[in-house]
């Protein structure tokens, strides 16, 4: 390559290209489905998370009558799932409350059935109002009470129903939490309807709780999937645990008394894509500020208080739902003894070694 002869080949940067404006160039490369990284590098590789999702709170007192009106517009059977989606104002048109999670309020009236189906999306139910409705998961029925946390793992048949008025049925509303947006990103959604509106019930209610709900499990149980063998985590038990810990003097300066729900067979999360928590904030609690990369949806069970998310302050009351976006500083306070349920995509972030938390 020691060629000392004068270079007679054409200039590598012809004057025509130099004169070209950047925008005309961008249009030309766009026709080849290409784009200049240097225009979007900061947004693509941000110094820290810049979620499109914003902090928001849904006041149950403002939306309850709208949820009930849906009951007059369409039957559960026709709707398949009669749900009002809680859509993050920063994510319009995406049916998402965070970039990976979905939330909705589902109404089931006395005598109704939401027909059996299954899908790869995992679902959780957190009972907000009313009791006595049931959900069947994989051949086992669970009766709902306010504050109960119920899971519908990926690809499990599930149908919901409610006894008639004569049988004591009342309207029941629960918060649906699903990983729908995550599966949209992954293009991993499959679903099918059951041939019957109601799947066959093959085990008595309480069967899985008897097998796994008492710090015991069947002797030869082998963990074959990461999903919890318990479908229902009754509020009574979670509430009692938080109360005992509080009486024993356990109080975290950021979280109050906070526990995570577990898969009793593994100690892991109840489902592989969503973490769930319940916490007690005693009256007068003023939490310190923390932030984490797992955007979190909260459902208020008991008590009143305030939450600061970034620059915003919200008052919360029982049955309100609020969302904390990724990496937003959050500070919880309670006026009266408050109990908060919450869920996030923490298992996904933890499995990918992406979870970051900061407490200040
Ligand atoms: O109950 O199966 O809110 O499939 C959204 C999709 C509930 C359900 C939702 C669903 C369900």
Q: Above 90 in pLDDT, residue 123?
A: yes
Q: Same domain for 129 and 246? A: yes
Residue 13 confidence (pLDDT): 54
Residue 2 confidence (pLDDT): 43
Q: How confident is the model at residue 20 (pLDDT cuts 50, 70, 90)?
A: confident
CB 161 within 8 A of CB 134: yes
Q: Above 80 in pLDDT, residue 358?
A: yes
What mean pLDDT is reported for the chain?
A: 95
Instruction: Sort strands 113-119 and 290-292 into parallel, antiparallel or unpaired.
Output: unpaired
pLDDT tens-digit series, residues 58-90: 999 999 999 999 999 999 999 999 999 999 999
- Judged by DSSP in three states, 271 sits in coil
Which tokens belong to 80? 């398949």
Q: Same domain for 41 and 83? A: no
Q: Same domain for 26 and 92? A: no
- CA–centroid distance, residue 91 to ligand 1 (Å): 19
- Judged by DSSP in three states, 12 sits in coil
Q: Above 70 in pLDDT, residue 10?
A: no
Q: Same domain for 165 and 262? A: yes
pLDDT tens-digit series, residues 293-309: 999 999 999 999 999 99
Q: Same domain for 183 and 71? A: yes
- Judged by DSSP in three states, 101 sits in coil
Q: Same domain for 300 and 152? A: yes
CB 330 within 8 A of CB 308: yes
Assess whether the C-beta atom of 83 lies below 6 angstroms from ligand 1. Answer: yes
Which domain CATH number covers 266? Answer: 2.60.120.10
Assess whether the C-beta atom of 133 lies below 6 angstroms from ligand 1. Answer: no
CB 228 within 8 A of CB 151: yes
- Span 203-214, average pLDDT: 96
Q: Same domain for 149 and 228? A: yes
Beta-carbon contacts of residue 73 (< 8 Å; ≥ 6 apart): none
Residue 16 confidence (pLDDT): 56
Which ligand 1 atom minimizes the distance to the CA of 121? 4
CB count, 10 Å around CB of 282?
14
Q: Above 60 in pLDDT, residue 6?
A: no
Q: Same domain for 99 and 145? A: yes
- Span 222-239, average pLDDT: 95
Q: Same domain for 17 and 72? A: no
User: How far, in Å, CA of 266 to CA of 272, rounded?
Assistant: 12
Q: Same domain for 240 and 297? A: yes
Q: Same domain for 11 and 117? A: no
* Residue the block writes with tokens 């972030």: 349
Residue 302 confidence (pLDDT): 98
Which residue(s) pair with 129 in the sheet? 173
- Span 95-112, average pLDDT: 98
- CA–centroid distance, residue 357 to ligand 1 (Å): 30
- Name the domain count of the chain: 2
Percent above pLDDT 90 for the chain: 93
pTM here? 0.94
Q: Above 90 in pLDDT, residue 4?
A: no
Assess whether the C-beta atom of 81 lies below 6 angstroms from ligand 1. Answer: yes
User: How far, in Å, CA of 229 to CA of 264, rounded?
Assistant: 8
Assess whether the C-beta atom of 106 lies below 6 angstroms from ligand 1. Answer: yes
pLDDT tens-digit series, residues 148-182: 999 999 999 999 999 999 999 999 999 999 999 99
Q: Same domain for 2 and 95? A: no
Which residue(s) pair with 357 in the sheet? 292
- CA–centroid distance, residue 103 to ligand 1 (Å): 9
Which ligand 1 atom minimizes the distance to the CA of 117? 2
- Span 241-251, average pLDDT: 96
Q: What domain range is 25 assigned to?
A: 1-47
Q: Above 80 in pLDDT, residue 12?
A: no
User: How far, in Å, CA of 337 to CA of 246, rounded?
Assistant: 11
Residue 3 confidence (pLDDT): 45
- CA–centroid distance, residue 287 to ligand 1 (Å): 34
pLDDT tens-digit series, residues 252-290: 999 999 999 999 999 999 999 999 999 999 999 999 999
User: How far, in Å, CA of 213 to CA of 194, rounded?
Assistant: 29
Nearest Cα neighbor of 180 from 94, 250, 286 is: 94
* Residue the block writes with tokens 């074959």: 224
Residue 225 confidence (pLDDT): 87
């Amino acid at each position: 390559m020691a060629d000392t002869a004068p270079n007679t080949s054409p200039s590598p940067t012809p004057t025509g290209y130099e004169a070209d404006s950047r925008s005309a160039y961008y249009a030309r490369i766009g026709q080849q489905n290409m784009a200049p990284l240097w225009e979007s590098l900061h947004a693509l590789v941000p110094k820290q998370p810049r979620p499109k999702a914003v902090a928001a709170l849904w006041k149950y007192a403002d939306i309850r009558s709208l949820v009930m009106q849906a009951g007059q517009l369409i039957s559960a059977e026709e709707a398949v799932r009669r749900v009002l989606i809680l859509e993050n104002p920063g994510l319009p048109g995406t049916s998402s409350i965070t970039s990976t999670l979905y939330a909705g309020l589902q109404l089931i009236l006395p005598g109704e059935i939401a027909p059996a189906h299954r899908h790869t999306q995992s679902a959780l139910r957190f009972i907000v109002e009313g009791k006595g409705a049931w959900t069947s998961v994989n051949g086992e029925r669970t009766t709902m009470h306010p504050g109960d946390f119920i899971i519908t793992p990926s690809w499990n048949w599930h149908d919901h129903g409610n006894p008639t008025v004569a049988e004591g049925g009342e309207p029941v509303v629960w918060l649906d939490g699903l990983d729908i947006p995550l599966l949209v990103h992954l293009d991993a959604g499959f679903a099918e309807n059951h041939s019957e509106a109601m799947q066959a019930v093959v085990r008595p209610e309480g069967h899985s709780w008897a097998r796994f709900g008492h710090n015991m499990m069947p002797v030869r149980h082998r963990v074959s999937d990461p999903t919890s063998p318990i479908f229902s985590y009754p509020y009574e038990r979670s509430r009692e645990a938080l109360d005992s810990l509080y009486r024993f003097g356990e109080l975290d300066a950021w979280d109050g008394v906070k526990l995570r729900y577990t898969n009793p067979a593994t100690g892991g999360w109840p489902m592989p894509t969503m973490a769930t928590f319940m916490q007690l904030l005693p009256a007068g609690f003023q939490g310190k500020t923390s932030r984490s990369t797992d955007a979190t949806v909260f459902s208020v069970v008991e008590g009143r208080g305030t939450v600061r998310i970034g620059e915003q302050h919200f008052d919360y009351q029982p049955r309100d739902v609020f969302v904390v976006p990724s990496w937003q500083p959050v500070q919880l306070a309670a006026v009266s003894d408050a109990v908060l349920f919450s869920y996030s995509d923490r298992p996904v972030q933890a499995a990918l070694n992406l979870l970051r938390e900061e407490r200040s």
